[in-house]
């Protein structure tokens, strides 16, 4: 132990910057729980072997569990681990779609992400129900499909990312909480808005993501850049755009944090749960999924 921090290993998708391709899959358990756990554990070896065979692939994986599934594993429950609840009202809402199991992959290879999911499903296709499968891609210079740079406030250095994302000590040291929302953008409506107005809605300049001097309270930055006692409520984002022009397209928002509370504060602010003001960006994009997961340390995953 060093500096009060337990020497455990966070799962590999958490700390590195997201690769150019991601795959986020959410499942419900419908069959043999032990078989599914063993297959999740086996994926760690599959990732290691693929990284040895394809040295430039840089594949990273996290396996997460919904609260009800985690409780069945009888490992105790991390402090402040809650289910996702619906938020908002009218046209600005965040649904709670849940899920028992999360697989988050990111790498330099779209095909290997697909191969890993295929490998997982071969043995447990009858044991799980695949609720949502989203393949993300880096767009231009790390921009959302709105044209704005995404994740400007993300911690950049590895140690800073660990401090934000990873539980430092205790029973669940090395673990992390995950928030997941898939957003479907209304790009025709967004592109009809003048760039100067888009910048006011976001709270940043479009070319270089400089925060505006007069950020509106209901702008995206105004709603999500939260501070307590002068310190920002940080999270580590791994979001990437997804989709096709002929179908749904938008942002797959996935982020890690050492405490779930930071996510809840951000969502309450975005969806007007405290003051009735909502994030203006939500006039142009809509969440269609919403879930929280707990990602145990690599050691705890192996010992399940």
Task: Going residue by residue through the chain, which has 304 residues, state the pLDDT in tens, using 9 for 90 and above.
Answer: 344 556 799 999 999 999 999 999 999 999 999 999 999 999 999 999 999 999 999 999 999 999 999 999 999 999 999 999 999 999 999 999 999 999 999 999 999 999 999 999 999 999 999 999 999 999 999 999 999 999 999 999 999 999 999 999 999 999 999 999 999 999 999 999 999 999 999 999 999 999 999 999 999 999 999 988 888 899 999 999 999 999 999 999 999 999 999 999 999 999 999 899 999 999 999 999 999 999 999 999 999 9
Answer whether residue 186 is part of any domain. yes
Answer whether residue 277 is part of any domain. yes
How many angstroms separate the first and last alpha carbons of the chain? Answer: 23
Answer whether residue 6 is part of any domain. no
Q: DSSP secondary-structure letter at 280? A: G
Instruction: Give 258-261 contacts, CB < 8 A, sequence gap 24+.
Output: 258/163, 258/164, 258/165, 258/166, 258/167, 258/168, 258/176, 258/177, 259/80, 259/177, 260/80, 260/81, 260/82, 260/177, 260/179, 260/292, 261/80
Question: Is this model's pTM higher than 0.85 or not?
Answer: yes
Give me the pLDDT at residue 5, please: 58
Answer whether residue 112 is part of any domain. yes
Answer whether residue 96 is part of any domain. yes
Question: Domain total for the chain?
Answer: 1
Answer whether residue 68 is part of any domain. yes
CA gap 9, 15 in Å, rounded: 11
CA gap 67, 181 in Å, rounded: 16
Give me the pLDDT at residue 6, please: 63
- Of the candidates 150, 208, 268, 283, the residue annotated as catalytic is 150
- Domain range for 216: 21-75+88-303
Whether 275 is catalytic: no
Contact (CB, 8 A) for 228 and 266: no
CATH number assigned to the domain comprising residue 293? 3.30.70
Answer whether residue 5 is part of any domain. no
The label of the residue with tokens 């040291």 reads: 173
Answer whether residue 260 is part of any domain. yes
């Amino acid at each position: 132990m060093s500096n009060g921090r337990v020497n455990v290993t966070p799962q590999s998708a958490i700390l590195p910057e997201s690769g150019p391709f991601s795959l986020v899959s959410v499942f419900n358990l419908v069959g043999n729980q032990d078989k599914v756990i063993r297959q999740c554990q086996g994926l760690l070896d599959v990732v290691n072997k693929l990284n040895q065979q394809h040295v430039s692939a840089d594949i990273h994986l996290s396996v997460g569990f919904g609260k009800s599934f985690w409780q069945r594993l009888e490992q105790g429950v991390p402090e402040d681990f809650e289910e996702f609840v619906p938020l908002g009202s009218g046209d600005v809402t965040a649904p709670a779609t849940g899920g028992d199991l999360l697989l988050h992959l990111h790498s330099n290879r779209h095909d290997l992400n697909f191969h890993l999911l295929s490998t997982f499903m071969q043995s447990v296709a009858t044991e799980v129900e695949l609720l949502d499968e989203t393949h993300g891609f880096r767009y231009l210079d790390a921009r959302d499909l709105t044209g704005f740079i995404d994740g400007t406030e993300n911690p950049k250095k590895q140690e800073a990312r660990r401090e934000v994302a990873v539980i430092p000590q205790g029973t669940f040291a090395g673990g992390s909480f995950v928030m997941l929302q898939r957003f479907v953008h209304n790009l025709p409506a967004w592109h009809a808005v003048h760039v100067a107005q888009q910048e006011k809605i976001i709270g940043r300049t479009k070319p270089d993501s400089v925060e505006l001097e007069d950020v509106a309270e209901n702008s995206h930055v105004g709603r999500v850049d939260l501070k307590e006692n002068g310190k920002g409520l940080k999270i580590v984002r791994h979001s990437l755009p997804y989709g096709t022009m002929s179908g749904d397209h938008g942002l797959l928002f996935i982020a890690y944090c050492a405490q779930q509370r930071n996510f809840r504060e951000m969502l309450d602010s975005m969806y007007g749960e405290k003051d009735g003001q909502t994030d203006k960006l939500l006039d142009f994009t809509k969440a269609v999924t919403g879930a929280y997961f707990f990602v145990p340390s690599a050691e705890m995953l192996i010992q399940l």
